[in-house]
Amino acid sequence: MGTDGLDQKFRRAVETISANCGDRAKVILLSSDGRFPAAGVRELAGRSPEYQRHVLRRATAGDPTPLRRVAASVLVYETVAFREVVSRLARAAGFVRKEALLLERAVASGRRPNRLPDRVLTLDLIAESARRLLDLLAGLTPVPGREAAPSSA
């Protein structure tokens, strides 16, 4: 395949990511700072829109290697099989509790936690998802005759 074919795939990848993340994504992806090599952009275009937005938020926050996998990446799931959902939700809840405890201890001791930018982006991702879920739940109509299950929290 010639370079025209590769360039066309790169352009399509940039368009896909921009459609999912907004026009500002093009500026970031096409910048000459070297953070988004063509192969990385093509791979990112094949990922979920949530993961794409996560990577672009990291780039906007100044991460020099936004395509690198970090702790926050673990919370961006691309699961489609329902049987995996429950175990992943339990794992995610454990991660959230662990992060909250770590930050609580760091604040109490007056020390800055390690990987603070990653931790803040992780918590931002959690808060964004929680807001979307809350909005979705608020729009649901309860099934007649069914009571909500008591929360175990």
Out of 66, 90, 114, pick the residue that ends a domain. 66
Residues 81 and 99 in one domain: yes
Domain-located, residue 44: yes
Residue 29's pLDDT is 96
Question: Do residues 116 and 80 both lie within one domain?
Answer: yes
pLDDT tens column, 27-42: 999 999 999 999 999 9
3-state secondary structure the chain: CCHHHHHHHHHHHHHHHHHHHCCHHHHHHCCCCCCCCHHHHHHHHCCCHHHHHHHHHHHHCCCCCCCCCCHHHHHCCCCCCHHHHHHHHHHHHHHHHHHHHHHHHHHHHCCCCCCHHHHHHHHHHHHHHHHHHHHHHHCCCCCCCCCCCCCCC
Among 16, 44, 66, which residue terminates a domain?
66
Residues spanned by the domain of 104: 75-138
Q: How far is CA 30 from CA 37, 39, 54, 75, 131, in A?
A: 9, 13, 17, 27, 31
| pLDDT tens-digit map of 53-91 | 989 999 999 999 999 887 656 655 555 556 667 777 788
153 occurs within a structural domain: no
Answer yes or no: is 2 within a domain.
Answer: no
Residues 2-12 pLDDT 10s = 445 568 999 99
